[in-house]
Amino acid sequence: MKQPTLSVCIPNYNHSRYICEALESVLAQSLPPTEIVVIDDASTDNSVEVIEGFVRRHSSIRLIRNSSNQGPFRSTNRVLSESRSEYFYGLAADDKVLPGFFEKCIALLERYPQSGMCSTYPRYIDALGNLTKFPSFHSHETHVNIRMACFLPPDKVLARLNKQPWFIGGFPPVLFRHSALVDAGGQIPELGLLADWFAVHFVALKYGMCYIPEPLVAFRITPNSLGANIVRQPKVVMEQLVRSFRLMQEPKYHDVFPKSFIDSQRRNFTYASFRGAFVNWQSSYLQELEEVAPPKTLLGKAIISLLHIMMRLQWLMLKVYCFQNLAPVFREEYRGNDQHDDACTSGTGS
């Protein structure tokens, strides 16, 4: 029986501290990838030296070096365009895959050949690799009530996203069918932080998706990561969202993203644009408070608990406010694309 082929792309920029762990996690998989392509984005640390050591010891690893910094999206797209494997996975150099990820995802995708991707959900780790909590939208234990691995056709994906808008946890926990990710346009650099979001939702809504309710990847949360820096700037996030909404309504994409989905995302992302900055500031503040001045009495512990409760109440009030007050930039964009409404309601993918 022919073994499925898989390309793993690892874009790296100055992550010599983490690249060993990322590569070792891939090499330890029960289903080994056909090729592992590390694309170094003109690092200034000793990343290349570390990667070359792995290349010498493992024939499946190949190193590509960008002559100038291109960013992770263009780097990934370069590998995607050169790959001839049936399946494709993009791993950030500071993340890692957990045991069984490739084997379980590809087995399910082989069972459902119409599916464009298989998603799991991530464990969050800190800079030292310790498990941590990420107070954002992808808390799958509470948002997802799927108990067994399954396939969701496009209409079921849409229904679930309407109820659970953060159901799909972005790029890290998703293994793609190569052709489906190519069809999505790969990771579109102009969308910035939304490049990952756009790709996974296009594929899921057009082809359907497999889902495994297990934590099979580890996503590293660091204070100065690209995502963390952008999420603290609501106006920048909104600019990227407007570009995403425009793209959804272009001829290639508007049949995949129905009007109901776009409307719900305008509300969700008005909230998301501000919640990211709000949550990051509050969570960091309380974490530092507990580290610098830990509660020593019952009263102190009660106050810390109350602060956490008040924080979550503020998130709820922010959500109500944002759902009632759609950002004008989103509303104006909607008015400017009324001619696509009929087309957007005509289908949810095939």
Q: Are residues 252 and 336 in the same domain?
A: yes
| Location of structure tokens 């920048």 | 236
pLDDT the model gives residue 227: 56
pLDDT at residue 273 above 80?
Answer: no
Q: Are residues 178 and 263 in the same domain?
A: no
What residues contact residue 46 under an 8 Å CB cut-off, 6+ apart? 16
- Domain of 304, in residue numbers: 240-344
Q: Compute the C-alpha angle 190/195/201, nearest 5°.
A: 135
Hey, is 62 helix, strand or coil? strand
pLDDT at residue 78 above 50?
Answer: yes
Tokens of 61: 């690893």
Q: Are residues 151 and 89 in the same domain?
A: yes
Q: Are residues 279 and 190 in the same domain?
A: no
Q: Are residues 140 and 262 in the same domain?
A: no
Tokens of 146: 């799927």
pLDDT the model gives residue 241: 82
Q: Are residues 117 and 250 in the same domain?
A: no
Asked if residue 234 belongs to a domain, the reply is no
For the entire predicted model, the pTM comes to: 0.83
Return the CATH number at 192: 3.90.550.10
Mean predicted confidence (pLDDT) in 205-217: 95
Q: Do the beta carbons of residue 205 and residue 256 sit within 8 Å? A: yes
Q: Which segment of 162-166, 194-198, 210-214 scores lowest on mean pLDDT?
A: 162-166
Type of residue found at 54 = F
* Number of domains within the chain: 2
Q: Which residues of 81-102 are buried (b: 16+ CB within 10 A; e: fewer)?
A: eebeebbbbbbbbbbbbbebbb
Q: How confident is the model at residue 225 (pLDDT cuts 50, 70, 90)?
A: low
Strand partners, 123: 218
pLDDT at residue 111 above 90?
Answer: yes
CA distance 109 to 87: 9
What is the per-residue DSSP string for 229-250?
Answer: HHHT-HHHHHHHHHHHHHHHTS
Give the model confidence (pLDDT) of 282-320 as tens digits.
767 777 888 888 899 999 999 989 988 888 888 788 888
What residues contact residue 299 under an 8 Å CB cut-off, 6+ apart? none
Tokens of 171: 């790029």
Tokens of 294: 């830990």
Q: Are residues 94 and 218 in the same domain?
A: yes
